[in-house]
Amino acid sequence: MCGIVGYVGTTGGAAAVDVVLDGLSSLEYRGYDSAGLAVPTPSLAVHKAQGELAALEGIVPRGDLAGSLTGIGHTRWSTHGAPSDVNAHPHTDEAGRVAVVHNGIIENYQRLRDDLAEAGVVFRSETDTEVVPHLIRRYLDRGVSPEAAFRRAIDQLEGSYAIAAVFEGSETVYAARQDSPLVVGFGETGTYLASDVPAFIEHTDRVCYLENGDVVRLTADGAVVTDSAGNPVDRPTETVAWDPEDAEKSGYDHYMLKEIHEQPTALRQCLRGRIDDLEGTVTLEDINGLDHDGPVQFVACGTSYHAALFGAERLRRNGMAAQAFLASEYTTDRIPVDAETLVVGVTQSGETADTLRALREAARTGATTLAVTNTVGSSAARECDHALYIRAGPEIGVAATKTFASQQLTLALLAAKLVDSSNRTALEALRDIPGQVQTVLDTSDARAVAEEFVDADGFFFIGRGYHYPVALEGALKMKEITYRHAEGFAAGELKHGPLALVTEDTPVFAVVTGDGEGARKTIGNVAEVAAREAPIVAVTDGGSDVTRYTDYVLEIPTTDDFTGSVLAATQLQLVSYWLANRLGRSIDKPRNLAKCVTVE
């Protein structure tokens, strides 16, 4: 989603314009359609532009702004108003005394806008954000201090927001948070503010995470955090375990390819210390206090929802009642949930708005809540009763890859803890996954397969059981980064309608492992497709005769169905990557998409 950067430096420190632009560059992975910045000294200067950050960098007069040690910046993902220079942030009041950047949605903005317009305010943009600087100006005109004006304006807002503001002539940044992330960084030569740690990780790893209702005043000497009433609150300072080099491409052409190849390392990190080889048991210290034997409900969005489907399937196969729900469709007024229910929110960022809403709604019923996330200190991790970390490390590419694999593995470990962690064969299979993913990466023919389908307009992906979520995820990756139409289906559903769309120009990817009943039925579905002369790609471990019906094969090591789903997902990630690369797509920053979706 939108990204915020703020900075107040000490005398002799880095120029604000450089820190802000570098920070915005580090947040590009979140997705955006315009960018802008403001520096308040010696006079307020605002520069913004539609398009990628390069467009902003091309118009910012760095030399003229080199003396300013304070600034805010923003990358926008449009909600109210189309992408344009005018709708880009920061927004100012009419007199140019205050500049504001904002993530989220102000739900009562129309009423506020109407009131301000009736009072004579002329709006320049179509955004909900522009009401904020005009509200602040209203209070400044009444003689109150900048901080008081900021607070009074914030008090009038309803909805979700992370807001930062600077005032002309002042070396201070004010910010507030409600349901949209903000983190403060403490460096040797200044204080930093951002939506996410990568914006300033090259400067400091000492951070504090703001919570809902917090208001913070940043100066060169540090930050003062208060609640909505102005009372000081203590937010602990933590050290972030990120190496700045983790957020670099390390010689790869794209972050996505780098992160696909980081999966063996990420999976080893996920497993480290969690499987006791001597005892043959799972130990999850993150959630030692969780003891649950009732129903489990997963809530998630996008790729995380596909991982949640794995988690639910894993639990059901071990005898525990479990369901996966799209978080945006989850409501406790029609989904039975009570104090006996464990509600698991699967969210890479820990800030996904739909998932957070679902978790909060579940918590109000008395249900136990668990966040499965990659981000320490995220909203989900702080608000849930328990948090289980997937340990994937930084993921910059918008299309999730290593976080998906790490979610799959983490949820398998969770299932082992909740049901039975003494199945040595199953645990050994989990422990072998990182090495098997490496084998896939070393031997994959995905690039050659992708070359065969450069002209294809649409793709189908099919699978059964654990492989059904793989089919959904394979289709999602194809859509996200190639912009080609793709659909994933439970293999048996293809004949109930979608088969009408299958032609000789519709490549079908079928995930088939082993030679059990599921494999045999899927082969029957593949034969139905072959009869329509569609090109077929089998992702298989060779345990069946599916290849007799297929045109291309992507091999994975022989293993069980669950492990095979992780390996198959890796092959499909590579196919999508190489096809998108061949088509010249913006792989790390696909159009219209955001890494962290903080609006419902």
Element (H, E) at 106: strand 98-106
Percent of the chain whose predicted confidence (pLDDT) is above 70: 95
Q: Which CATH architecture has domain 444-589?
A: 3-Layer(aba) Sandwich (3.40)
Q: What is the pTM of this model?
A: 0.72
Indicate if the pLDDT at residue 378 is higher than 70: yes
Does the 249-442 domain belong in CATH 3.40.50.10490? Answer: yes
Helix axes 424-443, 263-271, angle to 10 degrees: 160
For the segment 8-24, what is each residue's pLDDT rounded down to a tens digit?
999 888 899 999 999 98
Domain 3-246 sits in CATH at 3.60.20.10
List Cα–Cα distances, 347 to 243, 301, 379, 597, 598, in angstroms.
Answer: 22, 8, 10, 10, 12
Return the residue matching tokens 């859509």.
Answer: 479
Catalytic residue among 48, 479, 595, 596: 595
Indicate if the pLDDT at residue 51 is higher than 90: no
Which pLDDT score is estimated for 397? Answer: 86
Instruction: Say how far apart CA 314 and CA 311 lie, in whole Å.
Output: 5
* pLDDT category of residue 328 using cuts at 50, 70 and 90: very high
* pLDDT category of residue 245 using cuts at 50, 70 and 90: low
Catalytic residue among 2, 208, 270, 301: 2
Yes or no: say if 403 and 391 are a contact pair by the CB < 8 Å rule. Answer: no
Over residues 150-156, the mean pLDDT reads 95
* pLDDT category of residue 30 using cuts at 50, 70 and 90: low
Over residues 52-79, the mean pLDDT reads 88
* pLDDT category of residue 1 using cuts at 50, 70 and 90: low
Over residues 259-286, the mean pLDDT reads 86
Structural Rg of the chain based on CA atoms: 25
Instruction: Say how far apart CA 273 and CA 262 lie, in whole Å.
Output: 19
For the segment 437-459, what is each residue's pLDDT rounded down to a tens digit?
999 999 999 999 999 999 998 99
Percent of the chain whose predicted confidence (pLDDT) is above 90: 62
Indicate if the pLDDT at residue 243 is higher than 90: no
Which pLDDT score is estimated for 228? Answer: 84
Instruction: Say how far apart CA 337 and CA 339 lie, in whole Å.
Output: 7
Yes or no: say if 307 and 352 are a contact pair by the CB < 8 Å rule. Answer: no
Could you tell me the residue ranges of all domains in the chain?
3-246, 249-442, 444-589
Q: Is 2 a catalytic residue?
A: yes
How high is the mean pLDDT of the chain? Answer: 90
For the segment 507-529, what is each residue's pLDDT rounded down to a tens digit?
999 999 998 898 899 988 888 88
Indicate if the pLDDT at residue 29 is higher than 90: no
Same fold, 249-442 and 444-589: yes
For the segment 351-377, what is each residue's pLDDT rounded down to a tens digit?
888 999 999 999 999 999 999 998 887
For the segment 548-600, what is each residue's pLDDT rounded down to a tens digit?
889 999 999 988 888 999 999 999 999 999 999 999 999 988 887 765 554 45
Q: Is 595 a catalytic residue?
A: yes
